[in-house]
Each structure stands twice: as C-alpha cells, then as structure tokens.
Structure 1
Amino acid sequence: MDIHAFTDVAPASPRPAGAAAGLRARAGKPPSPRTLSLSAPRFSPTAIAGLCMAMLWASPALVLAQTSADSDDAGLVLRASPRLQENLSSEQRGKMPVYLEGDELTGQTADMTTVTGNASLRRADTMIRADRLRFYEPSNTAYADGNVHINRAGSVFDGTELQMQLDSNEGFFKDANYRLLPNNGYGVASRVDFIDRERSVVHEGTYTTCQRNDEASWQPDWIIRAEKISIDNLEEVGVAENGVLEFKGVPIIPIPKMSFPLSEKRKSGLLPPTMSLDSDSGFTYAQPYYWNIAPNRDATITPTAMVKRGLALGGEFRYLEPTYYGTLAGLYMPGDRLRDRDRWSWLWQHIGSIDTPIGGVGLNINAKRVSDSDYWRDFQGNSYKLNERLLNSEASASWSRDDHSLLLRAQKWQTLQDPLSPIVPPYDRMPQLQYRYTPQNLPLGLEGSIEADATRFRADTSLLNQPNADRGYVQAELSRPFIAPQGYITPKLMLNTRHYNFDNSGLATVSSASITVPTVSLDSGLTFERSTRLFGRNLIQTLEPRAFYTYTPYRDQSMIPVYDTAPYDFSFATIFSSNSFSGYDRIADNNMLTVGATTRFLDAETGTEAARFGIAQRLRFSDQRVVMPNASPVNERWSDIMLGAGINWTPKWGFDTTVQFNPDSGRSVRSTMQARYKPGDYKTLALAYRYQAQNSEQMDLGWQWPVDEIFGSKGKKAKGEGRWYTVGRLNYSMRDKKLVDSVVGVEYAGCCWSSRIVLQRLQNSLVQSNTKLLFQMEFTGLTKLTLGADPLASMRENVPGYQSLPSGNGSAVPSRFSNYD
C-alpha cells in the first residue's frame, strides 16, 4: 500500500445545496504539519475523474471564486492563481508545502522523516526521487541516496547521493548526469555543487549540446571536458575552466577559461575571433568584444591586425528607444602600409518618428564617409555597403497630417573614382524642401495631388561643366477613374511648372529660366475571362488588352541643365508612362499611343497564377524633340516590341523572360531570361541569361544541392541535417569569355554543429579582382570559429534562392512543464 504524507490536509466540507459556490484557492502559508497520515485517503474512480475535470476546467492560471456568499444571485468571476506559473518567486516557493511519498515511511513530526522504496519529495517546482530519502523538517533539508533523480524547474540531475536545503537550494550531488532546460545541454560530473536556486558548479565534468541517437556506438560530435564548469541560469551563461574542446574525439582547442551562452540572451564578453586570408590584405585577425550596455543599447569593439597593412580599430554602437533607433559605426587604421596613409570610415543611421498634436514628425539620418577613393576596393568585406563607389549622406525631417506632408532634406554624395572607370558624380541637395497634398475625398469621384518642391543643387562645376542652380517646381495632377468589373478608363490632366536660378560661374547662357508643360493622358483596359483546361488542369484564362494615349506639347528645354534626370529604361514598367524621363528637368514632348495585351492562366480552385504572357508596343505620331544633352531625337514611328512571359506551372519550376525586340533589324536589343528549379528544402537551381546589344552578354548560374544526390544516391534526412551540400554562383561574361564573379562552397549541418567553406572571387575593377577563402565552424550553443568574412552572409547575398541550413536545437522557448516529472 502506498503511503502519502502531506503537510496539513483539511477534510472538505459538504457544499450547501443551491449555493453559487465554486472552487476556492487556498491563500497564505499552510499551517505547520501536525500529524502524518499512515493510510492513504480513498476516492472512487468517479470522484477522481470529477476532480481532474474540475482542475482542468479551472485552467493552470485561473480559478473560480465566489463574489459574495450572502447574495443568492452573485455571479462567478475569475481570479489569478499561482498554481502553474512558469516562474515562481522565492516568496511563493517558501509558502508551498512539502509532499513525501514512498513504499515505507518512518519518523516523527517536526524531526527527521525517512522514506524508502520508490521515495519521492515534491515542493513547488522541485521534485526528488531516490531509493531512500530523508527529510529533516527543522532545516528543510533533504538527503537522498541510491538512483537519485532531481528535477529543478525542468533541469534534471541523476546521481548516487544528494543533499539539498530546500529554501536556499544549496547542496551537492555526487556522480551526476545533468541536462539543462534552457538549451538542452548536458554532461556528466564527479560532483555538482548547488550554490543557490540559479547557480551551480560542475566538477570534473563534460558539456555538450549534441543529442543522442539510437546507435549503440554513438558519441557526441563535440564535447567540453573541464575541471570546472559554472552554470548561471540567471545570467544564462556557462563558464568552463581548465578544459579542452574535443571534436570527433580529437582535442582541438585548449580552454583556460571560456564562457558560452545557455540561451539567446545577450552578454558582455569576447566574441569568437574572425580570421581571413585574401589576396589584398594577406592574413587578417579580428577579435571583437561585445559590450551589453543596457537592454536597449550595446556596442562591439573590434581590434584588427592585417599582415600587409597594419593595425586597425573598429566599433559599432546600437541604440533602441520607443520612438527612434539607430547605429553608429566606424573604423580607423593609422598608417596603412600598402597605401602609405591613414584609412578611416564612419556611418550614422538613425530612424525616428513621433506622434504630436499637430501630426506625425520624423527624423531620419543616413550618413556615410570613407577616407579615400580606394577604400571600396581595399575593404570589400566591410558592412553597411561602405564598399560602394557612391556613398550617400542625407538627413531629413518630415511631417504629415491627414492629406498633407512636408519633407526637409539635405543630401551630399561622396564619389569614389576609378581612373579606369570614371563615373559622373550626382548633384548634392543642399537643401531640399518638398510639400505634397493628396486629398482623399474629392467630389465627383475625382483623384488628384499637388507637389511643390524647392531644391538647391550643388556640385563641382569643373567636373560637370554646367552651372549650379536653385530649382523650384509645382506639379499638379487631376484624374477621374471609371472602373467596372469588365474594365476601366482613366483620363488624367497634369501640369508641371519649373523655375531655375543659375549661379554666376559663367557656364550658364542665361541667369534664370522658367517653363510650364501640360500633359493629358487616357488609360484604358478591358478584362475577359473564360474557363479552360490544359494538361489535365482546370484553369481560368484572362485576356487583358490595354491602350494608353498621352500628349505633351513641345516646349524648348535645351537651355536647362540636367540635375536629377535620366532616361527611363525601356520595359513593361515604363512603356505605359507619360514621360520618358525620371526626375523633373525634362518633360518629354509625347504624342503617342501604347497598346498591349496580357493573358494569364489562373488555377480555377486556388486563383494562383500558373502562366502569364504579355506584349506591348508604342506608336509615335510625331517626333520626340526633347532629349537629354548630346542625345539624338527619337523619330521612329513604332518602338521596339516588349515581350514577356512568366510560367509557374508547379511550385518546383519557374520561368521568367523579358525581351526587347527590334522589328526593323529582326533582333533582340535587350533580353533577360531566368529559370529556377526548387524541388524541396535546401535544393535550388537558378539559371539566368542577360543580353544587351553592343554592351554585355552574361550567364549566371546559382545552386544549392545535396552532394550525395549529385552522385545518384538519396539522403535519408530531408530537412537538411547530417548531409553535405554544395552551394555557389558563377557569373560568366560571354563577351569577354571569362568569369566575372564566382562563389563556390560546401556546407554541412549536423544536430549540434555546422560547417561551411567558401572560395569567393569578386571583380573590384576592370582589371582587378579580390579572392578570399571563407571558413566557418559553429558548435551549436557554444561558439563559432570563422575564417574570413561570414560565409553564411556571402551565400545569402550571392546565391539566389539560398536557404540556411537548420541550426540544430531550434529556437523554441523552453518551459519547465515540457520536462515535468
């Protein structure tokens, strides 16, 4: 017969008939134990089932309470209960009783109690099982020996002998096996000392996150063997001392002292070093230090040594507030030996917004600067796109309310020139003020907007050979859409007026200029549908013809320099536009009609698009005379034909193509074709062909694929674990007959570690390229060892459709009830 011992069990009183009474929660500290019950209370199966249903219905966190015992019509309300809380406070835990259970119980009240045979002790979220268990009530101390098992809020320990003070959780455990709840890490130890509720020390122990499989010969892929391992669940960090890291049974790294995370919580300390080897800087070693300043602020400081260049110091500071957030970062290298000068870079990114009684106010800053024009090629592995040749720095303040918005912006560019491939620097906006009004409830179904802008353009006039200027413009639009299920028609009227004041540099033929250009357009389209069946699939086919007419009278704009304007690329996105130029310095004189048609095949059940085909062409009724400087007028009546197709017949296959075809020459002017094949997770093939007449012709191949399936075998694991994968991207210039960019690598992801090695060669000028070897090994829940820039980031950026392999233990937040005894 099982014997149960409870600290103060009061018999239940009968429930009054007709009373609106519910289950009551016992509050306060239970009375001191007075007696030990030597016979278990007996309940019928029906009573036990009813009690269980009542407890489930009450829920882990809520119980029913009676609002008023004196009122016949008093209702039931819900009251918070601490019964099954995830985390218990010390005060709550101290008020909870101790439960003892076993085959045989001896002892006396308020002294030592001994339980033998299937002995167990439970208090709050701590449970102890053993062959023999003694509980000394005056000090609330438990002693256990023989197959001892303890579960402390989900973390479990098994061993031969235990002593623990239940209030302070201080004690020790001999010959222990342990498993930690936060990250499922585990190991063995000759002894575990419990310092308090959150801290413990493992002596002569091991630690790993590798999970055992069913093979009898299984051994963890990596393991730490250390003289001392300190576990701090409050800080969620472990520290190993005087140990070694073994991989596949081979010691690889000695560990005088190393900390490792027990969760994703941030902590200050040294991060894994980064080592790289490339053709420009030689061997590079970077040792970052992470500083967890506050929950909403942190910093990373990174000293770096480059064999060919010298020493550098980099840093990053991040901040996060309810209404704004941002990043400050920089690098300084005194005396670069290869360039014989100091090198530096900095950036500041800030995004903020706040609601005020007068509307929403925003402040955005995106500032970047580097020391010299060679920075982009010498430091290609840097973050925040500081390896671009055009670095934009701007600050803007914005305001919006209802239909009105206002923007004040200052923008300045830094142009990094290459003598072999010079680029024209853009104009700075110092400053720009823009107002926009977009009313939402105009009468008669009208839609409209007004945009006013004043900008001061500044640049080095000796490089651009045109004057700086102040420009102001106002552009108004008014349209009336007529929309029906079978189609639509939208007439629109636009008016653009501009005024320029030029500086007195001597480059302007006039001191000022003004021009006003009106535009009218008519956009229309129809939609036809029919049911059809192709290749055994029920589909809905649409036919969507479209006609767009626009007229803009000629206004001479040849005396106006170009500040923010460029011709649009000819594409499906721009062929139905009223202006051939972006920006506001040129408004094209157009008298033309664009006609086109699109047909789509939609799945009859889901509505997803299985295929799409389109064609469009312009008919020009008069020559276009407004052109960019030094460009020839457009005089052909019929434009090139735009052809497009997209096929996604199954989720595995996809094909997209766009062709600009010249009917006079019978040849393609520009073509883009892309095909992808993705039969499952971690499997993708992407092939692209890009052609532009008299300019470039390139093939691009990207892939991610299991190595074993390349050679005809099928892997057993479909979710990415335990297999080698090859990844890469090759960009080949058919015109130059050479590889432009290439990224090729292999990677592996196991249950508790992953590894990837990538060879990356990227072109950084017409005649130069940079080659890097990237290597990374990650021990799940421990650390990363990285050689070179992050290969994972390189694959995500360069390989189309790349999918990161699983990290091992997952990211679910553990609960003590998921490992409950």
Structure 2
Amino acid sequence: MRDACRPKGLSDSLTPLRLRLTAPSVKPTPPLRHLPPRRLLAIAASAALLSSPAVYAGSQNKKPKASLDGSEVVCPLGTFICAPRPDNFALCRPNGQLEFYDPFLSKDSSLRQTAKTYVWADHVQSPDQTIYHLTGHVKTIRADQELHADVADYNSDTSDYDARGNVHYQEYNQLVSADHVVGNTDNSTTLATGNVRFQMLDSHGNGTAVRGQQFDANRSRYSVATYSTCDIGRHIWEIRAKKIDTDQNTGRGIAHDATMSMYGVPFFYTPYMSFPLNNDRQSGFLYPYFEHTGEAGYQFRIPYYFNLAPNYDLTLTPRYYSLRGSMLSGEARYLFPQTKGTFDFEFLPNDLYNDQKITPTSFDTQGTQRYLFRFTNSTTLWKGWWLSTDIMRASDQNYLHDFGDDIFNISTALLYSSIYLNGSGNWWSAQVGGDMWQNVDPAESNAVEPYKRLPRATFNMDIPFWRWYDIGLTSEADSFHKSEAVEGSRLDLYPYIDADFQGPWWFIRPKVAYRYTTYSLDSGYRNYSTSYTSLSGVTTITPFTDANPSRSLPIVSLDQGLIFDRVASMFGTDYTQTLEPRLYYLYAPYRNQTNLPLFDTNLMAFDDWMLFAPNQFSGADRQMNANNLTAAVTTRLLDDGGVERLSATFGQIRYFTPQLVQTPGTQATDWSGSDYVAELSSQLNDQWTMSTEYLWNPNTRKTELGTFTVQRRLGFDGVLNFSYRFRQNLLEQYDISAVYPLTARWRLIGDWTYSVMDKRTVEAVAGVQYEGCCVKMSVVARRYVTGYDGVISTLPAGQIAPGSDTAVMFELEFKGMGAFSGQTDSILRRDILGYQ
C-alpha cells in the first residue's frame, strides 16, 4: 500500500470509499535471471502391438497429447535416446494456489515505480489527512501487488502500514497470509505474525511459519517454518526448520536446524540445508544414488554441483564402494568465446579388493591406483581453423569390467584418443594430428589394439568448375606404429572428376577417379608376411619383400535414376506414392595387393548402403576390383505434409568379374551377385512405427542379416518395443522392452535381451516408477553379462565365459529441489527405445 500525495476533500467517514493514489519513485525489483524370428514371433509381436488397448483416461485420442499440461512435446517415435523430461507439476491439484490468489493481477514488478495505488474499503477515517484508518473489506492494488485485510492503518508520510485480520498479500512471485502484518511500502519491509502461510509462485514452494519477515523486495525469513513443493495442505514431504531464509537474487533457500520428513516420518536432520527456489543453475548437493554390483559391492554416490560462473561449472561426486573403497569422480565444463570442452575423471587411490584373475591376461588390482579420464576440447584458432581434442585413458584394461555398471560400458573394448588441427573453406578441408587406442577388454591381449596413426594428415577438395562438373581430391598421409607388427607410412591420393546432371524426375551422375597408394615400410618389414586365399581355396603366405610397394588404378562409376509419382489411397487416406528405380555401375580393374600391409583396413559387413559404395573395404590398404551393376528400386508414401509414412527398397549388385581382392582370413569369390537387400519402414500414424531389413545370399542360400523392430506408443509416455537381430555366424538376439503406464502416476519398466546362440540372457531389467505432484521414485533391478564384448560367442581355450552381475538401483527425487538426471534414468534411456 503506497501513496504519493495527500488526498483532498475527504470527510471523516465515507461508505464505501475508493481511493486513487499516485505512487512515488522507487527502485523496481530486478527480474529473475535465467542462465544460460524367429519370424513367427516377430509377426505375433507386431499383431499384439497393433491391438494394444488404451492405458489410462484420455489415451483414446488418435494422437497423444503434447504433454500432461500442454507444455511438453513427447519424444518422437523411433528416437534412440530421448532427452530427460523436466520437472512439471501437472499431477498436482488444479488451481493449487492459496485460496486468495488473483490470476489476473499483473506479473510485472517493474511497473511499481510509476503505477498508481488503488484502495477500497467500507469505511475510512482520517482526522489529519496523514493517517488513514480503513475498515471493512480493505483492498489495495498497485501494479503486481495486492493486499487484503479486515482493518488497516496507513501513514501516507512514512508509508508505514498495519494490517490486521485475514491479511492476504500477493505479488508477482509469492503469496503470504497472516493474522497480522506490519510494514513499510517504500522499503518493501514486512513483519507477519499469526498463522503465517506462504507460497512461491515460480517454484511451487509453499509452507507455514509462526513468524515471517521481509527484509527487502527479494529477501525473506520465516521462523519455526515448514517448506515443501507438494500441494498446499497435502505435504508428502516437507522441511521443518527453526529458520528458513529465502533470497530471490540468488534463487536459494537456507534452512537452519532442519529436519526432512516424508509422510510425517522424519528421516534426515541437518543443521544447515541449502535448496533451490527456481530452476536456475545453482550450487548444491544433487540426489544421492545407491547401487549394488558383484564386482564393486554396495555403492553410494552423492554429487555436489558448483555453479562457478554462467560459462563454466563443476560437479564432484564422492563415491564409496564396499568392496573397493573410496573414489572421487567429477565433471568440469567450460564455454568461452573461442573454446569449449569437458573433463571427466574417476580416481580410486587404493583398490581394496583382492581380485581374482578374470582371464589369463588380467591381473590382481589390490593396492593399486585405478583411474579413468576423458578430456574433450574444441578451440577456434582463427577463421576456418580449430583444434579438436578427445583423450580417453584408463589405468588398466580391467577398469571398465570392474567399475562399469551397464552393458554399454562393459562392452567397450577400446578407448579412443585423438588430437587434430582442422581447417575448412568453401571448397576444401584439411586436418593434421593423430589418433591411438587403448585395449580395455580383459579377455584380450594388447595385440588387438589398432595401429597408432601418428602423425596423420588429410586434405580434401571439391571445386565446381562448370555448370554440372566438379573436380576434387581426397588424400591422406599416415605414419603407423604398433609393436610386433610391420610399421611404416602410407600416402593415398584419390583425384576425381564428377558431374551431376539432374531434373525434376531424373538424375545422371558420372564419376572418373584415379587412386594411387604408396608405402614406405620401416626396417624389419621382411620379418612379416601376409596371406591370400584363392578361388580354389588355396592359401598362400607371402612375406613382404618390397620396402616401397605401391598400387594405382582408375575407378569409374555411373549413377542414374528416375523418380515417378502418383496419388494413391490407403486406409482411407490419400498419399503421394513414388517409384524410384536406380542403376549404379562401378568399374575398377584388378590389382594384386598381397604385397601391401594392412594398417587400418578391414572388409566391411555387407549392408544396404554398400549397394552404391565404391569400395567394400574400410581404409586405404585395399581397393576392390569391380565390374558391377547395382539395380535397386524404392517406393515411398508421402502424406499431405510431405512426411514419409512408408518406404520400401529392394536391390542387388550383379558381378561380371570375380571378387579377387581380399584380406587375410577371407577368400576370393566368383559370385554372380551380392546379397539381395530388402528394407521396409513405416509410420502410418502417430501410435506405432516399424522397420525391417533382410539380406539373403543366393550363392550360399543363407540369410546373412535380418532385423525387425516395432514400437508402439502406449498413452502419453508409455512405449512397447520388440526387436530381432540376426547376423550370420555372429549373433541372434531378441529384445523386448516396455514402459507401461498403469495410471498417470505409476508405470512399470522392463527390458529383456536374449542371445539365441549362447542360450542365455544378455541383460534383464525390471522396475517400477512413481511420479506424484512433488516426488518421483524409481526401483530398478538389472541382471547383465560382464565381460561382454558386443557378441557372446564361444571363447577360445584358456578364457572363461562371460559372467553375470546383478545391480539393484533406487532413486528418490523431490521435485523442485534441483534438476538432476540420475544414473537410473540415464541407463533406462539407453536401454529402452523411446524411454523418457
């Protein structure tokens, strides 16, 4: 309540009275800152998905809601890893503010200094026109401030006021009610006593107090107080403290002599507690995490977040493993105008576990230091040039086996490190640097590590020189290093001329290239050899005899296609259907390459994209010979919005000459054609999506690859996934996962991956999650394979089969007490397609 001048001509008693008062100049409250099958099983599963019922009220709609409260977009179907969902209070009671909340009051506090004050009352007395005594339904409004009381006294000279009886006060970010409130409007100071209730509108925080005091527009103190983000009067959890200080400038609340309780049962006491009042980044403890694994025992983590500056921060996480001891892990992030990066680390100063040897290559780690770190950085040096760094190292090759708590970490066999100086322009790109790997598979010797490429340089260019034509070059120079293997350097040059002739319904893309590769082998190269298996199956071992071998050959290709379209109707909906035939001819003469070392080259697994690839080998050490013609056809269904609802592709490569260029361990072939490739993907509505790929070899009459994936949306945030994966002589797996909403608050979570070849479960996850108005809880149990290297198969003699481990994870989150995605949430997002 505030006025600027003394009203004139007032009688001693008016009924009713409405005053219009002008506000004096006052510094506005600063706004909040926001810092920056088998196949029958596959068919049966898909049929079940298509007939799944609605889960809870409201899910009968053809399209899922954007969110529970309309503010959040659901994760798109088919997304591999969905972003975590922010806290929302949509499950709280509607209109959960204190009963006197006025939704139409202005929320702009900056208007206070110029706004007028309006006063209503049944009666007013003012003997000297300085002190006003207002009685009966007293109401004052100024900008974002509104005050109600039964009785109020106001001094227009000092701006002091005294309000009594059912006092209600509202401003842009808080509500307060009390029996008695005194204060000064110029200084924004108040003292509230008697049945004090308060609510913070921008954080859903609310509570009660015996006494409330406002020191200025942003700082308050509540004595003998409670605080919670639950519904008013329905506190599932709350903080009870002798004193709670709030500061809107820092966005923090401080509770002194505080006890935290849940359902009225105290479970935690601390003499000092800091908690957030909004969603701004703030320093403080994040949610603790509990887990148990067989390799490390019981584990407890409690991260602490340091909000050091808007552009850099730090998270430190003390950990305790019951079998191994204390560990410190952390993550530092920084963002500057010319550089950005992160540094992650884990450090265990003394491993207490008397570890048994996992495999003949592992060792006892008791009493040793264990660590893992990763440093990534990108620094812009000048326009078009930047330095990129990615370094990841572990103390030993057992580290991920001992401390990895999910199959993604445990299945990692190599850690990659690199540093490069990169440059690019309108028609060129270049990089100079090197890369290396570290073996972290305890079942393998370090001989599995790829060659170190130190140094390595590349230069690529593509220059348009006429309307249709480009001239270009891809080049690479490397120096390769590896113990007990042939070493040396390699230069690979690949100049070309290509063209792109095209119209609305056709394209023709010819390309002529020449590939030259030369080597300079280090001394001792004669101690090593390579092998070659001919068409007849005879294997020849050939030692290296030339210190400077080379290879050169032309490569010619012609890619051409047509695009037809028509209007088609399916399930009562009109679509645009396309038919896209495509031919790709590739010619590369045979060159004997058995005298060339294999530094970084492997035969790639055949897949759909290789129908139009100029080489079936990765790296530059082998170039396939080719006289091939690829024929493929694709059809698509596009809706009125241009969204691809269905896509189907069928194709094969026809070979006119034998495939003679091979790598050691493989055999030359005289096949007339490649695998038949068939693909189908569909998303005819917003409830389900399906994709499948099938590769069949007409020469061996075997299925080389088969995949089938289907996803069904269940309500708003539920999903049901089924996938089947088969690769000849490599793997055959089923995977079923689901997030099944029982109600709007409860949902079941599960994931099961089974290996047919090994007749065992690779990973099984089962859990339950609860989300209420102000609390979220997860209990998840996991059984997973340890030492898993991507494919479970029969191990060589002397190695033991992969073992299994069990982890039970519990996570409890109090909404509004800080945004943090815990370990359980991140694991589930990676395990379950579409989990959010």
Q: TM-score, normalised by structure 2?
A: 0.79
Give the match for residue 809 of structure 1. none
User: After the TM superposition, which residues 496-515 of structure 1 pair with which residues of structure 2 at under 5 Å, given as runs?
Assistant: 496-506=515-525, 507=528, 508-515=544-551
Select 2:647's aligned residue among 612, 632, 635.
612
Give the match for residue 126 of structure 1. 145
> Structure 1 residue 520 and structure 2 residue 556: aligned?
yes
Letter aligned with residue 823 of structure 2: D
How much has 1:371 moved relative to structure 2?
0.3
> Structure 1 residue 790 and structure 2 residue 823: aligned?
yes
Letter aligned with residue 402 of structure 1: N
Select 2:339's aligned residue among 305, 319, 324.
324
Stretch moving more, 495-504 or 194-203: 194-203
Stretch moving more, 171-180 or 777-786: 777-786
Give the match for residue 726 of structure 1. 748
Give the match for residue 739 of structure 1. 761
CA distance in 2, matches of 1:514, 1:633: 21
Alpha-carbon spacing, 1:36–1:703, altered in 2? closer, same or farther (3 Å): farther
Q: Deviations over 1:164-202 (max 9, x none)?
A: 122222231012111112202111212111222211111
Stretch moving more, 288-297 or 792-801: 288-297
Letter aligned with residue 202 of structure 1: Y
Give the match for residue 171 of structure 2. 152
Secondary structure of the 2:669 match is coil
Give the match for residue 720 of structure 2. 685
How much has 1:799 moved relative to structure 2?
0.5
Alpha-carbon spacing, 1:384–1:613, altered in 2? closer, same or farther (3 Å): closer
CA distance in 2, matches of 1:326, 1:161: 54
CA distance in 2, matches of 1:296, 1:566: 43
> Structure 1 residue 202 and structure 2 residue 238: aligned?
no
Give the match for residue 365 of structure 1. 389
User: After the TM superposition, which residues 298-309 of structure 1 pair with which residues of structure 2 at under 5 Å, given as runs?
Assistant: 298-309=313-324
User: After the TM superposition, which residues 116-265 of structure 1 pair with which residues of structure 2 at under 5 Å, given as runs?
Assistant: 116-123=135-142, 125-174=144-193, 175-211=195-231, 219-265=234-280
Secondary structure of the 1:574 match is helix
Give the match for residue 305 of structure 2. 290
Contact 1:35 1:109 (8 Å CA) reproduced: no
Alpha-carbon spacing, 1:381–1:164, altered in 2? closer, same or farther (3 Å): farther
CA distance in 2, matches of 1:350, 1:5: 55
Contact 2:638 2:644 (8 Å CA) reproduced: yes
CA distance in 2, matches of 1:39, 1:574: 95
Letter aligned with residue 649 of structure 1: L
User: After the TM superposition, which residues 48-63 of structure 1 pair with which residues of structure 2 at under 5 Å, given as runs?
Assistant: none
CA distance in 1, matches of 2:319, 2:405: 13
Higher Rg: 1
Contact 1:526 1:545 (8 Å CA) reproduced: yes
Contact 2:653 2:673 (8 Å CA) reproduced: yes
Give the match for residue 487 of structure 2. 468
Give the match for residue 592 of structure 2. 556
CA distance in 2, matches of 1:500, 1:515: 9
User: After the TM superposition, which residues 103-114 of structure 1 pair with which residues of structure 2 at under 5 Å, given as runs?
Assistant: 103-107=122-126, 111-114=130-133
Select 1:659's aligned residue among 658, 672, 694.
694
Alpha-carbon spacing, 1:103–1:297, altered in 2? closer, same or farther (3 Å): same
Give the match for residue 425 of structure 2. 401
Alpha-carbon spacing, 1:85–1:209, altered in 2? closer, same or farther (3 Å): closer
CA distance in 2, matches of 1:405, 1:667: 43
Stretch moving more, 100-109 or 730-739: 100-109
Give the match for residue 458 of structure 1. 481
CA distance in 2, matches of 1:352, 1:581: 33
Give the match for residue 616 of structure 2. 580
Select 1:433's aligned residue among 424, 436, 457.
457
Contact 1:435 1:453 (8 Å CA) reproduced: yes
Give the match for residue 751 of structure 1. 773
Unaligned runs of 5+ in 1: 9-32, 42-47, 49-60, 62-82, 213-217, 708-714, 716-720, 804-821
CA distance in 1, matches of 2:13, 2:645: 69
Letter aligned with residue 497 of structure 2: L
CA distance in 2, matches of 1:544, 1:421: 49
> Structure 1 residue 415 and structure 2 residue 439: aligned?
yes
Higher relative contact order (CA 8 A, sep 6+): 2
Give the match for residue 45 of structure 1. none
Letter aligned with residue 696 of structure 1: L
CA RMSD of aligned residues (A): 2.9
Q: Deviations over 1:595-640 (max 9, x none)?
A: 121222333x334333332211111111122111242112111222
CA distance in 2, matches of 1:5, 1:140: 6
Stretch moving more, 235-244 or 729-738: 235-244
How much has 1:586 moved relative to structure 2?
1.0
Secondary structure of the 1:336 match is coil
Contact 2:237 2:262 (8 Å CA) reproduced: yes
Q: Deviations over 1:542-571 (max 9, x none)?
A: 222111111001122111111222222211
Contact 1:558 1:629 (8 Å CA) reproduced: no
> Structure 1 residue 347 and structure 2 residue 374: aligned?
yes
Identity level (%): 29
Unaligned runs of 5+ in 2: 15-19, 21-30, 32-104, 354-364, 529-543, 788-800
Give the match for residue 448 of structure 1. 471
How much has 1:365 moved relative to structure 2?
1.0
Give the match for residue 534 of structure 1. 570
How much has 1:144 moved relative to structure 2?
0.5
Secondary structure of the 2:778 match is strand
CA distance in 2, matches of 1:138, 1:195: 20
Give the match for residue 801 of structure 1. 834
Alpha-carbon spacing, 1:110–1:369, altered in 2? closer, same or farther (3 Å): farther
Contact 2:491 2:518 (8 Å CA) reproduced: yes
Give the match for residue 4 of structure 2. 7
Give the match for residue 56 of structure 2. none
Contact 1:5 1:101 (8 Å CA) reproduced: no
> Structure 1 residue 641 and structure 2 residue 676: aligned?
yes
Secondary structure of the 1:377 match is helix
User: After the TM superposition, which residues 55-134 of structure 1 pair with which residues of structure 2 at under 5 Å, given as runs?
Assistant: 86-88=108-110, 99-107=118-126, 111-123=130-142, 125-134=144-153
Contact 1:777 1:784 (8 Å CA) reproduced: no
Q: TM-score, normalised by structure 1?
A: 0.81
Letter aligned with residue 524 of structure 1: Q
Secondary structure of the 2:332 match is strand
How much has 1:477 moved relative to structure 2?
2.1
CA distance in 2, matches of 1:185, 1:565: 60
Give the match for residue 812 of structure 1. none
Stretch moving more, 636-645 or 245-254: 245-254
Alpha-carbon spacing, 1:494–1:243, altered in 2? closer, same or farther (3 Å): same
CA distance in 1, matches of 2:447, 2:198: 63
CA distance in 2, matches of 1:265, 1:600: 46
Give the match for residue 631 of structure 2. 595
How much has 1:770 moved relative to structure 2?
2.6
Secondary structure of the 1:573 match is helix
CA distance in 1, matches of 2:509, 2:106: 63
Letter aligned with residue 780 of structure 2: V
Alpha-carbon spacing, 1:387–1:376, altered in 2? closer, same or farther (3 Å): farther
Contact 1:728 1:795 (8 Å CA) reproduced: no
> Structure 1 residue 623 and structure 2 residue 658: aligned?
yes
Contact 1:6 1:37 (8 Å CA) reproduced: no
CA distance in 2, matches of 1:755, 1:271: 15
Letter aligned with residue 466 of structure 2: P
Q: Deviations over 1:290-311 (max 9, x none)?
A: 2222222222223322211112
CA distance in 2, matches of 1:627, 1:400: 35
> Structure 1 residue 379 and structure 2 residue 403: aligned?
yes
Letter aligned with residue 829 of structure 2: R
Equivalent residue pairs, number? 705
CA distance in 1, matches of 2:222, 2:375: 45
Contact 2:556 2:586 (8 Å CA) reproduced: yes
